[in-house]
């Protein structure tokens, strides 16, 4: 298990360094654990005081080589993808790399789609399509949108994407691979639409979902690839 109190101390120090204008009021007591994460995943926390309301993802509690290699790579990729998407959508919220292996951004109030009733309007999913299309135009794929826990129905009714840990850049990928990965992202939206929206999918969207479902047994990016790799190694030993 991770040392959560130590992680909170590390995060509080990083927040003070990166938000000097509010450093006097920043305290580890204002951090609440959202998700501990397995040893190869970031711990996710919420920091809230009178001035800041942030989600923080931090790998400081992971083993040295995970933190220094995968943690740095994952944090850099998430930051780059979020920054590009924010610029494309006109989002001017907080987005800050706190350290090489931690990142902070505005906390989103709302519920993940796996926790909401089956009455989400079709307009929500159409807007989510537009956001994901922007992400693709920026040269990234999310790769974990089939997990309904990674899409949020905000208290403001707007769609939000979270957890970019599986995100990849597609800028140097062959076109046919990039197009397929983009369909995988869209299939996550259509999977959620089919389960959570009273309005049926049209034939075009349904065909994308059916296509991805048919070949998903060959899909190697289910969840976090590093976790699956390490689990297989444990089983062999």
Give the pairing type, strands 53-58 and 102-106. antiparallel
Of 106, 126, 144, the residue that ends a domain is 106
CA distance 74 to 137: 20
Residue 119: CB atoms within 10 Å: 8
For residues 114 and 96, membership in a common domain is answered with: no
Q: Residue range 197-216: average pLDDT?
A: 94
Residue 78 contacts residue 96 (beta carbons within 8 Å)? no
Is residue 214's pLDDT more than 80?
yes
CA distance 211 to 67: 37
CA distance 148 to 128: 13
- How many domains does the structure of the chain reveal? 2
The whole-number pLDDT of residue 108 equals 96
**For the domain that residue 197 is a member of, what is the CATH number?**
1.10.510.10
Is residue 233's pLDDT more than 60?
no
CA distance 226 to 166: 9
The whole-number pLDDT of residue 122 equals 98
For residues 205 and 132, membership in a common domain is answered with: yes
For residues 28 and 84, membership in a common domain is answered with: yes
Of 87, 106, 125, the residue that ends a domain is 106
For residues 232 and 130, membership in a common domain is answered with: yes
Q: Which two tokens stand for residue 7?
A: 């992680």
Of 73, 106, 139, the residue that ends a domain is 106
Is residue 216's pLDDT more than 90?
no
For residues 114 and 195, membership in a common domain is answered with: yes
Residue 112 contacts residue 152 (beta carbons within 8 Å)? yes
**For the domain that residue 36 is a member of, what is the CATH number?**
3.30.200
Mean pLDDT (the chain) is 92
Q: In angstroms, what is the C-alpha Rg of the chain?
A: 18
Confidence of residue 92 (pLDDT cuts 50, 70, 90): confident
Q: In terms of residue numbers, what domain contains 32?
A: 4-106
Is residue 232's pLDDT more than 60?
no
Q: Residue range 85-94: average pLDDT?
A: 93
Confidence of residue 10 (pLDDT cuts 50, 70, 90): very high
Percent above pLDDT 70 for the chain:
91
Is residue 193's pLDDT more than 90?
yes
CA distance 89 to 51: 24
Residue 141 contacts residue 182 (beta carbons within 8 Å)? yes
In this predicted model, what pLDDT tens digit does every residue of 28-78 receive, in sequence order?
999 999 999 887 889 999 999 999 999 999 999 999 999 999 999 999 999
The whole-number pLDDT of residue 43 equals 96
Q: Which two tokens stand for residue 70?
A: 């995968």
CA distance 233 to 145: 26
Which of 42, 2, 9, 41 minimizes the C-alpha distance to 26? 9
For residues 134 and 225, membership in a common domain is answered with: yes
């Amino acid at each position: 298990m991770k040392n959560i109190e130590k992680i909170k101390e590390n995060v509080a120090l990083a927040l003070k360094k990166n938000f000097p204008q509010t450093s006097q009021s920043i305290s580890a007591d204002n951090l609440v654990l959202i998700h501990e994460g397995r040893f190869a995943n970031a711990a996710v926390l919420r920091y809230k005081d009178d001035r800041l309301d942030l989600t923080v993802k931090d790998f400081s509690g992971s083993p040295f080589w995970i933190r220094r290699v995968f943690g740095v790579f994952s944090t850099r990729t998430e930051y780059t993808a979020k920054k590009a998407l924010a610029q494309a959508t006109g989002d001017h919220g907080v987005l800050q790399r706190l350290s090489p292996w931690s990142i902070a951004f505005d906390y989103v109030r709302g519920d993940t789609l796996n926790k909401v009733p089956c009455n989400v309007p079709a307009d929500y999913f159409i807007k989510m399509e537009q956001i994901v299309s922007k992400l693709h135009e920026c040269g990234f794929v999310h790769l974990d949108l089939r997990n309904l826990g990674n899409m949020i129905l905000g208290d403001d009714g707007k769609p939000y994407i979270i957890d970019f840990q599986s995100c990849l850049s597609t800028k140097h990928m062959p076109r046919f691979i990039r197009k397929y990965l983009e369909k995988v992202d869209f299939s996550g939206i259509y999977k959620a639409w089919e389960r959570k929206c009273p309005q049926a999918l049209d034939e075009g969207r349904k065909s994308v979902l059916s296509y991805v479902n048919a070949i998903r047994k060959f899909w190697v990016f289910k969840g976090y690839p590093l976790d699956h790799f390490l689990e297989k190694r444990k089983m062999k030993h």
